[in-house]
Amino acid sequence: MEEEPEPPFRPRTQSRGWVLLLTICAAGIGGTFQFGYNLSIINAPTWHIQEFTNETWQARTGGPLPDHLILLVWSLIVSLFPLGGLCGALLAGPMAIQLGRKKSLLVNNVFVLVAAILFGFSSKAGSFEMIMLGRLFVGVSAGVSMNIQPMYLGESAPKELRGAVAMTSAIFTALGIVMGQVVGLRELLGGPQAWPLLLASCLVPGVLQLASLPLLPESPRYLLIDRGDTEACVAALKWLRGDRDVTWELEEIEEERAACQGHRARRPWELFQDPTLRRQMTSLVVLGSALELCGNDSVYAYASSIFLEAGVPEEKVQYAIIGTGSCELFAVLVSCVVIDRVGRRVLLIGGYSMMTCWGSIFTVALCLQSSFHWMPYLAVSCTFAFILSFGIGPAGVTGILATELFDQMARPAAYVVCGVLMWTMLFLVGLGFPFMLASLSQFLYVPFIGVCICGAIYTGLFLPETKGKTFLEISKELQRLNSPKQAQGPTWTGPEVITSTEL
């Protein structure tokens, strides 16, 4: 019998761990790393962009920007990033179905290229509109990558490592935030002359992904279930698993394919109409909303004033801000190591519970900061502790839900819903935070504490544990939870059965 030829792109000596790590890095560098990096750099030169906008307006009209337009123009500039993210989230589902997971990530770099060109030449062209368009395209890129990267990695990882591999999306986000904070220092590219280069540096992660990701295979599940290409699926599995036998995994994917046979890819609105997906959709909406409304982004926004209150010199605050990003990166790394041992539920409940605790102490510290000289230092400690708690639990675990709770036909639509929810909440929080700060003052974090409590309670009562289970096993368990009466079996409705006789 003739031996089956090896895939041309798979060296025999390649180890599974090395290939999986390469896949994670290639997908992450232009995916969630790009999102975290842009999240830092587009806000770093805020004052320079405002000054440039005023100068550009004055050069065109001969007068300064009117006061009633200053807030309007800056609000448009700020809001275009989440608006682009919302558009990208809507594009992610159709792209993942039509192009596949890997090709979608590659095509997504077109938006980054356009944004980098607009950013880089905005100063020479004297156009703040180019900055606005650049932020829009960067947002579109983030919306696509935030959905497709965890989908691609979750479908490519073995079940015993799926949680850790999917968690790398959060790791790359935190790493991108830290790198953006470092590059945005005034001593590097955050100065008054170099800020266009800082904004245009988003091109670097995109180029790195374009150079590395084409060397890697498509998601095996997409190849077999969506395209029906068994040969390509086997080749991709062998490439990803090395010398390990892939027969059992191929059988499991075949079972899922049989379960999906005759079904087309779901549309987002159909997920809300299907009673068999009730628990999955409720979990996605509740925990996805909790992720954005738990107050972590507000802690970052409030951190500068907290550090100043604690006596940190103004010129040193930028270095303290880097410490907050490093805390989240460290916490997500710890979570990645332990997630497949302790499970998803434990990390979510523990994360939200600790955030509730530190948020409460933080509120007390803000109320008493004028009474005790050491209260500002307690507030600084709570800031770091709150970010650590967020990184250990909600930051990475929430992103896995859409991968594990939905089957192959519903997963792209679930990510669309998740992305739309995330970017909408991000927009609302950014829009409403200044008003909350003005009206609630020291009690700013009380609503966020309430969200954390609700997240912990919901996880404990309704979210099933998915640790170490195949996608088919998770699907069957969710079907049982959504239809408990059917799971108990039919009840006897005929005549009463005589179970004993008396002689």
Q: Where in the chain is the domain with CATH 1.20.1250.20?
A: 12-216, 270-482
User: What's the pLDDT at 258?
Assistant: 82
pLDDT at 17: 62
Task: Report residue 121 as tokens.
Answer: 């030449």
> Count of residues for the chain?
503
pLDDT at 455 over 70: yes
Helix axes 446-462, 411-440, angle to 10 degrees: 150
pLDDT value at 487 more than 60: no
Q: Residue 155: enclosing H or E segment and its boundaries? A: helix 128-156
Whether the Cβ atoms of residue 376 and residue 469 lie closer than 8 Å to each other: no
For the chain, percent of residues with pLDDT exceeding 90: 12
The predicted structure's pLDDT at residue 8 = 41
Q: Which amino acid is at 324?
A: T
Confidence at residue 20, expressed as pLDDT on a 0 to 100 scale: 79
pLDDT given for residue 400 in this prediction: 81
Taking only the tens place, the pLDDT of each residue in 250-308 is 888 888 788 777 777 788 888 888 888 888 889 889 998 888 888 887 777 667 777 77
Which stretch, 75-79, 212-216, 244-248, has highest mean pLDDT? Answer: 212-216
CA 283, CA 307: separation in Å to the nearest integer?
Answer: 36
Helices 128-156 and 411-440: angle between axes, nearest 10 degrees? 130
User: Tens of pLDDT along 181-208?
Assistant: 888 887 888 777 788 888 889 999 999 9
With a pLDDT cut of 70, the percent of the chain lying above it is 88
- pLDDT band at residue 484, thresholds of 50, 70 and 90? low
Exposure b/e, 77-100, CB count within 10 A at least 16 = b: bbbbbbbbbbbbbbbbbebbbebb
> Which one has a higher pLDDT value, 321 or 6?
321
Helix, strand or coil, per DSSP, at residue 18? helix
Higher pLDDT, residue 148 or 428: 148
DSSP state for residue 245 in the 8-state scheme: -
Question: 270-482 domain in CATH 1.20.1250.20?
Answer: yes
Task: Kindly tell me if the per-residue pLDDT of 14 is higher than 60.
Answer: no
Q: What tokens were used for 353?
A: 């519970």
Q: Give 12-216's CATH code, choosing from 1.20.272.10, 3.30.2350.10, 1.20.1250.20, 3.90.226.10.
A: 1.20.1250.20
Minimum mean pLDDT among 84-98, 189-203, 209-223: which range? 189-203
